[in-house]
Amino acid sequence: MAERFDLIVFDWDGTLLDSAAAIVLAIQAASRDLGLPVPTDERARHVIGLGLVDALSHAVPELAQADYPRMVERYRHHYLSSDHELNLFAGTEAMIATLAARGHMLGVATGKSRQGLDRALSYTGLGRHFLATRCADECFSKPHPQMLHELMDELGTPPERTLMIGDTTHDLQMAEAAGVAALAVTFGAHPEAVLRQHTALAYIDEPEELSAWLYRNA
C-alpha cells in the first residue's frame, strides 16, 4: 500500500508519554507554593500542550505578572522531581521504531521547553527516531501553526503529506491552521467529547489502537 503520509508529527505529553496527571499535579502544587487558588483538575488538564507561560496564565489567572518566574520555577521543581519515572504509553516504543523503519519521517511538536523535550527524548530512548522537533520556547505556542510550518519546511514535506497526532484541541486547531490532517487520541489530556468538536481523521481510544491505525492508514 502506498504511504499516505511522509511526515508524521507527534505531540509529546499525553500522546506518547503518560504525563498528563503529573503535569496537573505540578501546576496545582506550584499554585499552593505561591498561595494562589488551586485550579481544578479539569482546568489544569485543559492547558496541557500550551507553552508553559501561556499554560500557567490560563490555569491560574490570579497569577501576577511579577510572579511568573517563581511560578515557572516551582512548576518545574515539582514536575522534574519525578518526570524520569513517567512511562511511555503501551506500545509507543515499538510503534515509533516501526514507523521509522517503514520510511516515515517523524517529528515532535510540543508545548515543552527545548530542555524538557531533550531530557525526555534521552531518558525514553526515542530521540534517535525523530528527524526534527519544535518546542514552545522556540516557536509560538499552539494552536499557532508555526511549529508545523517549520517542521514541514525543514523536512521538505507538503501539508497534504503531513499528519499531526495529539491529545488536545490545541493540537487539532494547530493542524487545521497549518492545513494538515490530524489524528486525535482520547487517552491523554482532553476528553473525547471536547476533541470531537474539532476535525480529525479518527479518534483513538486506546494506546494500542494507535499503531494499528497508523499501520493501516498512514
Candidates 152, 116, 158; CA nearest to 135 is 116
Sign of CA dihedral 206, 210, 215, 217: positive
Burial class (CB in 10 A: 0-12, 13-18, 19+), 3: exposed
Half-sphere exposure at residue 199, Cβ-oriented, CA atoms within 13 angstroms: 9
Concerning whether 11 is annotated as a catalytic residue, the answer is yes
Candidates 149, 147, 150; CA nearest to 49 is 147
How far is the first Cα of the chain from the last one, in angstroms, to the nearest whole number?
Answer: 10
134 in Cβ contact with 26 (< 8 Å): no
Burial class (CB in 10 A: 0-12, 13-18, 19+), 98: middle
The grid cell for 99 is 514507523
Which amino acids are annotated catalytic? Answer: 11, 13
